[in-house]
Amino acid sequence: MANLNAIPSYSAGTINEIAQTLYDELLTSGSSLMLSEVTKFLIEDTKKYVGWAGGLQIKPDDIDGDLTNSLVVLDINETTQLATDEWVIIEPVLRAHCEVLQAGRMEGAQGLGVAPSGPSKSEADMLYKEAVLQMQKEAFQCEPFTVDLTDSKRDGEPRHWVSRSLYATGYRGLP
């Protein structure tokens, strides 16, 4: 889980501002996406990020105090602020998400005689799924912890509990 009590690095901007910047870039490269679609995808991908990270670093103005051991409804919308380190994790997913829609439109336009450019829809889908999996790995954070293993027997156990657990999984030791 993300350290929600940490001081955020820097703000990358609101979802609207970030979506506008990416939209401007996509528009100059020939993309047919609308700003509303980019914004919608950014909100969806941010929600996925929050699911794995546990929250956003920049708390909305209407949430005060410590969030430790509390359940708070986080409304992710156009005014939600993203920290720069959150944005660099979400950005590849958003770009791949936009590419899926663009690829679908290009395949649809082939029937009208438009020459396809960019990846196919199936390739774009695969790249999007890979980007989401990568975001899942990068977003998940956990406070450091230790696991103490003991060689002592547990009550009622014929063997050491660590050895028994490994034996039950089929582990027989190194050859």
What confidence tens digit (pLDDT) does each residue in 27-57 have?
A: 998 889 999 999 999 999 999 999 888 888 8
- Contacts for 54 with CB less than 8 Å, ≥ 6 apart: 1, 2, 4, 141
Instruction: Count how many domains the chain has.
Output: 1
Q: Output the CA angle 111-112-115, nearest 5 degrees.
A: 85
Cβ contact 125:119 at 8 Å: no
Q: Is residue 82 part of a domain?
A: yes
Q: Is residue 3 part of a domain?
A: no
Structural domain containing residue 69: 11-139
- Contacts for 114 with CB less than 8 Å, ≥ 6 apart: 106
Dihedral sign computed on CA atoms, order 34, 40, 44, 50: positive
Cβ contact 127:101 at 8 Å: no
Enter the pTM of the model: 0.71
Q: Output the CA angle 49-36-52, nearest 5 degrees.
A: 5
Neighbours of 78 (CB within 10 A): 13
Q: Is residue 170 part of a domain?
A: no
Q: Is residue 57 part of a domain?
A: yes
pLDDT of 129-139, one tens digit each?
Answer: 999 999 999 98
pLDDT mean across residues, the chain:
80
Q: Is residue 145 part of a domain?
A: no
pLDDT mean for each 10 residues of the chain (175 residues): 58 94 93 95 95 82 56 82 93 96 88 80 95 92 70 58 48 48
Q: Is residue 33 part of a domain?
A: yes
